[in-house]
Amino acid sequence: MHGEYKVPGGKLVVVDLDDDQGVLRNVQVAGDFFLEPDEALGAIDAALEGVPSDTDATGLAARVEAALPEGTVMYGITAEGVAVAVRRALAHATDWTDYDWQLIHTEPQSPALLMALDEVLTTEVAEGRRPPTLRVWEWGGPAVIIGSFQSLRNEVDPEGAARHGIDVVRRISGGGAMFVEPGNTITYSLSVPDSYAYLDDWVLGALADMGIKAWYQPLNDIATEAGKIAGAAQKRVVAGDGAVLHHVTMSYDIDAEKMLDVLRIGKEKMSDKGTTSAKKRVDPLRRQTGLSRADVIDRMIGSFRDRYGLSQGAVTDRETALAEELVRTKFATEEWLARIP
């Protein structure tokens, strides 16, 4: 059996092994990484020999770490990277615990830059330069975000948007229009190296911990007994080995009157937005949890970390430069915003 894994920001790790009646045998780790001292490689092989083949990535990485000689220097290789390569060799790399997740939660940014970062970060994951990433957005201003295949004219009232000082941007994924204001919504993105069926499973668990019984509602909604509380959208990026962008906007406390003055929403869509009156606020998360927006976000992040592991990360200078260039050449252009899909 053969498995390969490109460590984000590092080198290629290759593992060959046999699965002999449920245990690992003849394990050989190789690749274009650097490792000192030389005997450290043999120690890694020995540490994995005889391990049950159903051991998860965390357990495999722990065995590798424990076996390394004191003073070992690893460049372009990590214990977690070896574990993922082993899991891939066994065709078990289908669980989110097999990856080293990174959290990005930065200061407020312009709507156009937030759109560009979705494209840049997911491409970086696809190309193996970034680990799978959970990004929690902070909005630098109010905005309407239309889906990749929507008509600007059909979705947005330009006079209403101008009256309220609302930016209008188009994202790379499909789905419907979103209305956001700083502090009134919770938006997150997942940039994932493979396509998973249950991209929102973790957040359903987090909501349950906050006392909200929620469920996934096809095509891309999260709902409770009080109605829809979130909408999601996806985009597959075909660069490198491929990756999936999945982002969700959750209603914390939205001004429905303003939203309806900006979006062209028919009466049949009113209930879908969680309101039957323009005077009513769309506030399912605030009302149902009784928690501040910051507390809801902290609990969501904590739930993800407990399930899959999560280290603090940041947008790199390279990624920032790429995103700013995309804003200039794509996301801030009238050609992109007003395109006819």
Q: Which amino acid does the sequence have at 201?
A: D
The residues, any chain, with a CB within 8 Å of residue 325's CB and separated by 6 or more, are none
* The pLDDT of residue 226: 77
Type of residue found at 77 = I
Residue 312 has a CB neighbour count (10 Å cut-off) of 8
CB 256 within 8 A of CB 265: no
In order along its 341 residues, the chain shows pLDDT tens digits of: 888 887 877 888 999 999 999 999 999 999 888 999 989 999 999 999 999 999 988 899 999 999 999 999 999 899 989 998 998 888 765 567 777 899 999 999 999 999 999 999 999 999 889 989 999 999 999 999 999 999 999 999 999 999 999 999 999 998 889 999 999 999 999 998 865 545 778 888 899 999 999 888 766 788 888 788 888 888 988 887 788 899 899 999 988 889 999 998 754 454 555 555 444 566 778 988 999 999 999 999 999 998 888 999 999 999 999 999 999 999 999 999 999 86
CA separation for the pair 33, 38 (Å, rounded)? 12
Predicted confidence at residue 268, as pLDDT, reads: 40
Q: What does the angle CA 91 – CA 95 – CA 99 come to, to the nearest 5 degrees?
A: 95
Rounded Cα gap, residues 12 and 85, in angstroms: 9
Place of tokens 């739930």: 303
The size of the chain, in residues, is: 341
In whole angstroms, give the CA distance from residue 65 to residue 164. 56
CB distance 76 to 286 below 8 Å? no
pTM: 0.76
